[in-house]
A and B are shown apart, each in its own frame.
Chain A
Amino acid sequence: MSDPTPYRAAVFGATSAIATETLRALVAERPAELLLVGRNPERLETLAADLRARGAECEVHATDLLNPDAPWASILSGGDWDLFLIAHGSLPDQQATLDDPHATGREIDVNLISPVRIAATCARILEKQQRGTLAVFGSVAGDRGRQSNYLYGATKAALETFLAGLRHRFAEHPEVKITLLKPGLTDTPMTADIEKGPLFSPASKVGADAWSAVRKGKSTAYLPGWWRYVMFVIRHLPDFVLHKTKL
């Protein structure tokens, strides 16, 4: 609690397990004023109660982040923001999704179109402020197309390219940081149906590492860090080797 000025953050998809743990790590470290944005008002209030008990000031805003006309952008105006965190995403059964063209579109909406729209709005604010961080959750799944989750992976890869472009755009503004957070396999409700192996990390570890990456202003952070080496190997596997695996 060395810094008396509260850290101001707006969080989209705040009720996701990893976002929750990222915020818990933040508020354990310093005073914070948080704007929690998501779909379900009761869940947002429950999360706000948890973070308030831990010492944060919280406001909640329930809205449909998939709707470009929803007025979520207006609630960001007028503030001086330290952080925008975009955390919503979904990982459904891939084959069922691909068999249904509407479901395919919805997945791309949730994992790519909506985050890009929000990131573009936040970027405008950061440009005006000349400072602050935009952090977005990507995934190790975006590093290489693999048969088990290439729809999800494709959306996360596109998001990564988009953020790389934003980072380029802000290259001359050292006080503006664009951070891509790439969790590996994480033990959350989203992965409840996947059998747990030794590569799974607890959400609390991933969240703590995410906050640490944001605080340090990193460009890209694997969560936990050792995923960088795992994905280095997977990215460099020749096709004829990869295609023999079930990855």
Chain B
Amino acid sequence: MHSWGRVAPVTTQVDTPAWADRIHPAPGPVLAYGLGRSYGDSCLLGEGRMIETRFLDRILDFDPASGLLRAEAGISLDAILRFCVPRGWFLPTTPGTRQVTLGGAIANDVHGKNHHRAGCFGNHTPRFELLRSDGSRQVVGEGDPRHAATIGGLGLTGIITWAELQLVPIRSAMLDVELVRFRGLDEFLELSRDSEEFWEHTVAWIDCAASGRDLGRGIFIRGNWSAHGELAPHKPPGASVPVDFPDFALNRFTIGAFNTLYYRRFFGRTNSLQQHYAPFFHPLDSIQGWSRIYGKRGFYQYQVVTPAEAGAEPMREMLRLISESGQGSFLAVLKTFGDKPSPGMLSFPSPGITLALDFANQGNATLALFDRLDEAARAGDARFYPAKDSRMSRADFERSYPRLDEFRSHVDPGMTSDFWKRMNR
């Protein structure tokens, strides 16, 4: 089994229950495994039993008047969208891929381009059931500390068997999108501020190969649901990446060229278009197995959030370090988080700016860059993200999550993960 980063696969015992009555949470240690889109080791358990949930994918109840959906936790966001879009409903918020399970979206309290309006995924899951390793089943709802511990709880508080999700109404599957080119981080912050009131979805792509006076240039992307267009769900993926790319395929020249072309992809400063939700929210889902372009050695994700008070300075320093190292990535994403709190004790988003990047695994050079980035992040009082991590230190984890001690009391003694073991060593 491996996670999406493919850096450190594990060989372990795997259960694949097809029905809820076949989930056996004991003997431990166990860890629920959805679709394996966490990048690091938070979804893996090398010594123990992993319970693959993807066949537990049934819708248990749907109220077409209120949009409240109840489903088994192994259902993917992809399957939920194919169900709800033709009926005029959409996910309350969606991460950059549809290929995650409902349970996984809760356990990592995922966020999306509408964080400044909607908060996190866990803001929209009023109730769910936990199966604990002692065999007990507990339905927990908003206000219950076990609910708060499980949101962002990395699967450590019990196995989520089913969950309720409050969908939001849409009139069309299309979005009205505007792309605005910006020349630096200050312009990015200004665009973010100006867009928050009238744009539901905002994000920015950043050219992390640019340096000097181009440092921090990128394209701001903002969108609102269209009033016109069909309620057509997305199509199944077409192309796939069938093999691991050779290691030389990605280097500073191919990455630099890609980034420059991407930055120059339209004339003028802004560009307006109507776009289906699939390319807008999930651009990489149309290519199955895209992480294989990073080759056999896999890749790392790096994501932090720096507090709003710190302004653009910590991000500027981090971008400078990345451009200096020449190890840029295609997918550098910048977004401002709003101040709507998630119930989750270990929820990642907090008011401020978040930067997410992927880096091919180039061994020590990559790890050395991360050490420098960590230092800059710490100086900026940044928070690190377990779902994307393979290497954060225990101290950084503890500093990132002030409610960690409160969380610990809700951890199921029969559940753990390679990440959790690493954080408690």
Interface residues of A (CB under 8 A from B): 15, 17, 40, 42-43, 46-47, 49-50, 53-54, 188-189, 192, 198, 205
Contact = CB atoms under 8 A, between A and B. Distances in A.
Contacts of B19: 15, 40, 43, 46
B16 A189 contact: yes
Interface-central residue, A43, A47, A53, A189, by most chain B CB under 10 Å: A53
A54 B59 contact: yes
Contacts of B55: 17, 188-189
A53 B355 CA distance: 39
Contacts, number: 39
7 nearest interchain CB pairs? A189-B18, A192-B16, A50-B58, A53-B62, A53-B59, A50-B59, A49-B60
B47 interface: no
Contacts of A189: 16-18, 55
Contacts of B61: 49, 53
Interface of B: 14, 16-21, 52, 55, 58-62, 72, 83, 236, 242
Nearest to B59: A53
Contact of B21 (A42, A47, A54): A42
Contacts of A192: 14, 16, 52
A153 to B, nearest CB: 23
A47 B58 contact: yes
B58 A46 contact: yes
Nearest to A16: B18
Contacts of B62: 53
A189 B236 CA distance: 21
B63 to A, nearest CB: 9
Nearest to B82: A28
Contacts of A40: 19, 21
Given A46-B19, A53-B59, A189-B55, 16 more contacts: A15-B19, A17-B18, A40-B21, A46-B72, A47-B58, A49-B59, A49-B60, A50-B58, A50-B59, A53-B61, A53-B62, A54-B83, A188-B55, A189-B16, A192-B52, A205-B236
11 contacts: A42-B21, A46-B72, A49-B59, A49-B60, A50-B58, A53-B61, A188-B18, A188-B55, A189-B17, A189-B55, A198-B242
Given A188-B55, A189-B16, A50 B21 contact: no
A40 B72 CA distance: 18
Nearest to A20: B58
A76 to B, nearest CB: 25
Contacts of B58: 46-47, 49-50
